[in-house]
Amino acid sequence: MVASKVLIAIAEELLANGTPDALETLANLLKTTGIEYDNPSFKLHPMLKDIFNRLHKLVRDKGLPPRTRFLLQDVLELRADGWIDKKKATAKMEGPKKLEDIAAEQ
């Protein structure tokens, strides 16, 4: 896991860069670390909240490519759902099953 100060520094740097690639990287970083750090007891939580507030503004920026805006929107929706992925389109696919498991389900 990444140190909290490093997480905030990286997120700030990616936001400052502002390119679609940097923002996509930020989306992936926040999807991975958000569940651990998006907590009011986290000492840098106000800074993290500010980052999410800035993401809200970026999602409405029509100058960004749609792919980037939708990735950021997915992060914001994931956060709103308590970091539990409820979307079928983004949920992890089930792995292969054994024949015995399939027979047991029927």
DSSP string, 15-27: HHH--HHHHHHHH
0.85 exceeded by pTM = no
Give, for all 106 residues of the chain, the pLDDT tens digit: 678 899 999 999 999 999 999 999 999 999 999 999 999 999 999 999 999 999 999 999 999 999 999 999 999 999 999 998 877 666 666 678 788 888 888 7
Task: Give the H/E segment covering residue 91.
Answer: none
32 domain residue, yes or no: yes
Distances in whole angstroms, Cα of residue 1 to Cα of each of 4, 33, 68, 76: 9, 8, 25, 21
101 domain residue, yes or no: no
* The residue type at 41: S
44 domain residue, yes or no: yes
CB atoms within 10 A of CB 99: 7
Show the domain range for 71.
4-86
Kindly report the CATH number assigned to the domain that includes residue 28: 1.25.40.180
104 domain residue, yes or no: no
Query: How many structural domains comprise the chain?
Result: 1
> What span, in angstroms and rounded, lies between the C-alpha atoms of 83 and 60?
22
102 domain residue, yes or no: no
